[in-house]
Structure 1
């Protein structure tokens, strides 16, 4: 009987410490998302999705969409953090997150967070051009080798 009680107590202590550990990890992840500028990006995505639905459902009053947007933006990032926590935990320790947070709290980190959306947008355009050039080279090579007609 004592062994069962001791086992239950040990299991409870382990569960509580894991829960607390998970809670601090989740807080660190949320802070990293905030300081990295990702929170603004995620909010932008939510608002873009709502705008798309709004266009598709033009018969729905604007008040509905305003209410829905407020509701979604209230805790959308918190819900996303809940979903992302186990993924990040597989790959990064809480100490890793703290290091990333420390970087984003430096002037260079703040500038990087601020400029990332612009860098991403411009990089996507460059990537499209790069892909187009590769495609053209493939076609030239295929034609040169006689695999396709000129």
Structure 2
């Protein structure tokens, strides 16, 4: 069964020279950075970014990361990094696809999972903070499942 997508956002970036090896392919560790760039753009779109998270008293460490490399990204290539929010109430789970921006060829896919941690106590939260959930539900393009009255 396919996961529900609550929100979707895309970011376009170009593979810089300092991200590639001698064969002009992006080093595998840089894909985590590409995920982070797209995730920050998504959080800005939601209007509840890392600064807002900190101000509400929570940090959001990555607790799980998975990447599947299918084809290499190369120097100068434009990439379209798509983020799909698959969970936002118990954690923040985002699925990513990285495609060639010109022809849509799938290069990489993966996901990250972040948990809310109360900054003052260091306690891991079993549910994400109410301010975060409100921001996600208020974001343009939000697609609820009906579980909490969303359509």
Shared fold per TM-score greater than 0.5: no
Specify which structure has the higher proportion of strand: 2
**Greater Cα radius of gyration, structure 1 or 2:** 1
More helix by share: 1
Normalised by the length of structure 1, the TM-score is 0.26
